[in-house]
C-alpha cells in the first residue's frame, strides 16, 4: 500500500510541474507530423522555415511530413502545411543534429504564429528557462493532447554528464542540459524537438528524451548558439540557391 501511495504521490508531483498553456504563450511552437500525426516538436524560424531535431524526420519520406502551427492541440486546429524540402545537419545521425524544413507555402505570422530569434550565446548554468511540447506526464499516462510547459534550470555540463552516465548516454559538446529544480523527471517521451526558451529566444531543442522514470534528472538539448551560423547559412542556400 505504501509503495502504491508513493507512486501516486510521484505522479502528482510530476503533473504539478507541468503547465498546460495556450499557443499565444509559445507562438513559435510547431508540431512536426508524419502521416498526419504528431511525431516531434519543432520551432518556427521564419515564415517558411521550421527547425526540428534530425532524428525526428531522418527516416521519413518527404511527402509524408507536414507541420501544424498556431494550435495548442496536438492533432487539431491551427494551420497545417506540407514540407517542400529538408536539409539535415551532417547526416542527421548524431542526437543533437538539427533538421531544417522548408514549407511549400509561407506562413502568415500573427498572434499565435510567430518566429523566434536564435540565441547568440549559450545560457550559463543556473539560468531559468522553459521547454514546451506534447509529451508524457509519466510512464503510466499517454502523451498530452494539449501543449505543456515545464520550467527548468540550465545545468553544469559535468553534472549533466554524471546524471546521464548511469543510463549509458554521453553528452556531447554540442549539447546543453537542463533539469527541473526537484528530483522528479520531466520532458520524457514525446518532447523531442521541443524548444528550450529564455527571454523569448531559442537556446536549444530537446535532442534526447528521458524515459519516464525517477532516474531521469536532466535532458540534453541541441545548442542553438553553436548551430546558429550553420542554420543561417543553410537557410540562405535553401531559399536562394534551391539546395535541399
Joined grid coordinates for residue 104: 511549400
Distance CA 58, CA 216 (A): 25
SS3 for the chain is CHHHHHHHHHHHHHHHHEEECCHHHCCCEEEEEECCEEEEEEEEEECCEEEEEHHHHCCCCHHHEEEEECCCECCCCCEEEEEEEEEECCCCCCCCCEEEEEECCCCCCECCECCCCECCCCCCCCCEEEEEECCECCCCCCECCECEEEEEEECCHHHHHHHHHCCCCCCCCCEEEEECCCCCCCCCCCCCCCEEEECCEEEEEEEECCCCCCCCCCEEEEEHHHHHHHHHHHHHHHHHHCCC
pLDDT value for 17: 54
* Long-range contact pairs involving 157-160 (C-beta distance under 8 Å, separation at least 24): 159/125, 159/218, 160/218, 160/220
pLDDT value for 180: 75
Res. 242 pLDDT band, cuts 50 70 90: low
Domain ranges of the chain: 14-22+117-225, 27-115+227-239
Q: Of the given ranges (43-57, 112-126, 142-156), which has the lowest mean pLDDT?
A: 142-156
pTM: 0.86
Distance CA 161, CA 169 (A): 8
Fold that domain 14-22+117-225 belongs to in CATH: Thrombin, subunit H (2.40.10)
Q: Average per-residue pLDDT in the chain?
A: 82
Pick the CATH number of 27-115+227-239 from 2.40.10.10, 2.40.128.50, 2.30.300.10, 3.30.470.20: 2.40.10.10
Q: Give the mean model confidence (pLDDT) for residues 73-83.
A: 94
Distance CA 200, CA 105 (A): 25
Joined grid coordinates for residue 186: 520531466
Res. 29 pLDDT band, cuts 50 70 90: very high
Rg value, the chain, Cα: 17
pLDDT value for 189: 60
Q: Give the mean model confidence (pLDDT) for residues 5-29.
A: 65
Express each pLDDT in 144-170 by its tens digit: 889 999 888 898 877 777 766 655 566
Q: Do domains 14-22+117-225 and 27-115+227-239 have the same CATH topology?
A: yes
**Higher-scoring residue by pLDDT: 109, 242:** 109
100: pLDDT strictly greater than 80: yes
Express each pLDDT in 204-234 by its tens digit: 999 865 555 544 567 889 999 999 999 999 9
pLDDT value for 215: 47
Q: Of the given ranges (29-38, 47-56, 58-67, 91-100), which has the lowest mean pLDDT?
A: 91-100
Q: Give the mean model confidence (pLDDT) for residues 228-244.
A: 82
Amino acid at each position: 500500500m505504501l509503495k502504491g501511495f508513493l507512486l501516486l504521490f510521484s505522479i502528482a508531483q510530476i503533473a504539478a510541474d507541468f503547465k498546460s498553456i495556450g499557443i499565444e504563450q509559445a507562438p513559435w511552437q510547431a508540431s512536426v507530423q508524419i502521416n498526419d500525426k504528431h511525431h516531434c516538436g519543432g520551432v518556427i524560424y521564419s515564415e517558411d522555415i521550421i527547425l526540428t531535431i534530425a532524428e525526428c524526420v531522418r527516416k521519413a519520406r518527404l511527402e509524408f511530413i507536414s507541420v501544424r502551427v498556431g494550435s495548442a492541440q496536438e492533432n487539431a486546429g491551427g494551420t497545417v502545411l506540407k514540407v517542400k524540402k529538408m536539409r539535415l545537419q551532417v547526416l542527421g545521425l548524431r542526437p543533437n543534429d538539427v533538421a531544417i524544413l522548408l514549407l511549400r507555402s509561407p506562413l502568415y505570422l500573427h498572434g499565435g504564429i510567430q518566429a523566434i530569434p536564435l540565441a547568440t550565446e549559450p545560457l550559463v548554468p543556473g539560468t531559468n528557462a522553459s521547454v514546451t511540447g506534447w509529451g508524457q506526464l509519466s510512464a503510466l499516462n499517454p502523451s498530452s493532447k494539449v501543449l505543456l510547459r515545464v520550467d527548468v534550470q540550465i545545468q553544469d555540463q559535468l553534472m549533466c554528464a554524471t546524471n546521464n552516465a548511469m543510463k549509458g548516454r554521453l553528452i556531447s559538446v554540442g549539447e546543453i542540459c537542463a533539469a527541473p529544480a526537484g528530483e522528479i523527471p520531466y520532458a520524457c517521451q514525446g518532447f523531442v524537438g521541443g524548444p528550450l526558451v529564455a527571454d523569448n529566444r531559442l537556446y536549444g531543442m530537446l535532442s534526447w528524451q528521458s524515459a519516464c522514470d525517477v532516474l531521469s534528472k536532466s535532458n540534453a538539448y541541441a545548442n542553438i548558439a553553436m548551430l546558429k551560423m550553420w542554420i543561417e547559412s543553410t537557410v540562405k542556400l535553401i531559399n536562394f540557391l534551391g539546395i535541399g
